[in-house]
Amino acid sequence: MQKRRLGRNGLEVSALGLGCMSMSYAYGLPADRREMIGLIRAAVDRGITFFDTAEVYGPYTNEELLGEALAPCRQQVVIATKFGFRIDAEGRQAGLDSRPEHIREVVEASLRRLRTGVIDLLYQHRVDPEVPIEEVAGTVADLIRAGKVKHFGLSEAGVATIRRAHAVQPLTALQSEYSLWWREPEREVLPLLEELGAGFVPYSPLGRGFLTGKIDENTRFESGDFRNTVPRFAPEARRANMALVQRLGAIAAGKGATAAQLALAWLLSRKPWIVPIPGTTKLQRLEENIGAVALELTAEDLREIDAAAQIPVQGARYPEHLNRMVGR
């Protein structure tokens, strides 16, 4: 497995990480715990060293899962988790909360669940408009000085917020959605990260599964699957968006690769400090995704992919209430 550095702060990780959210949250019923522990350890065996979770995934259960799975190899891996939501007694999200005292509480609880003495990379999950980002960054800086956190990150933050946070505590990485069907970060975010020396961690690099070519207008998701609420996954949007996937699939076939591998290899080609974190609950898909790291794309391949990506994508990437939480 190749390695990459997230920014200038020396955080080295595998070129591909593993997003663990779908094992516990958002995509229907949680997967079998023992099977997921086995999958996470299989990822380690195959060279993946970068694992992503958050307190809100479950809530709490995904951190607990990751903590148990990685306990035997904790010193070999990098764990990223997130704060920023208030969770009520019933385990439901109850708004944003990045008050300094709440951040400290979340970190102590996350450390226990992850069975570790330090969080390698701590993200603010979403920008809280009620708390100045300088206070957030300053609180994380205090936690870094205390030895409880190593690196600071933001998720789905806008460029002004990124600059303000970085001025207080240098940012190691930004995590936001980025893929062949969501290229908005290219406009302002990627140039800013390059200027600041921060890395970029794309989540949903396979378009929540759509770019794999395994989903079409007739696909039915489980009742608890988040995609049932996403405009981009409405049947009519899926029907229109198949044009992009079919073009990408044809290019991939010419390379002896899968559409998923092509989409991940394209992301890896964008910048040497980009580390995608595709999620999966299946060993076969994990191995397929890892194969993308060795897939070399020529200049002609990249021109073909870029031409395919000009096909307009139908539907918003989030329902409106979640769209209001991004880009702040």
What confidence tens digit (pLDDT) does each residue in 58-95 have? Answer: 999 999 999 999 999 999 999 999 999 999 998 998 99
328 within some domain? no
Q: How many domains does the chain have?
A: 1
CA distance 226 to 243: 23
The pLDDT value given to residue 10? 86
Contact 29, 225 (CB under 8 A): no
Instruction: Read off the CATH number of the domain in which 25 is found.
Output: 3.20.20.100
User: Residue 60 has what DSSP assignment?
Assistant: T
The predicted pLDDT at position 7 comes to: 85
In a 3-state reduction of DSSP, which class is residue 18?
strand
Q: Is residue 241 part of a domain?
A: yes
Give how far the C-alpha of residue 327 lies from the chain's centroid of Cα atoms, to the nearest Å. Answer: 15
* Residue reference for tokens 């975010």: 189
CB-CB neighbours of 231 under 10 Å:
15
Q: What pLDDT does residue 9 have?
A: 83
> By the 8 A CB rule, do 126 and 132 touch?
no
Q: Is 159 among the domain residues?
A: yes
| Spans of the chain, pLDDT less than 50 | none
Quote the pTM value. 0.97
The whole-number pLDDT of residue 75 equals 97
Q: Is 257 inside a domain boundary?
A: yes
Give all strands (DSSP E) within the chain, no chain letters.
3-6, 11-14, 18-19, 50-52, 78-83, 85-87, 93-96, 119-124, 149-155, 173-177, 199-203
What's the confidence (pLDDT) of residue 242? 95
Active site residues: 57
132 φ/ψ angles, rounded to the nearest 5 degrees = -55, 135
For 124, half-sphere exposure in the C-beta direction (CA atoms, 13 angstrom radius) is 36
Domain carrying residue 59: 3-323
- E strands, 93-136, where? 93-96, 119-124
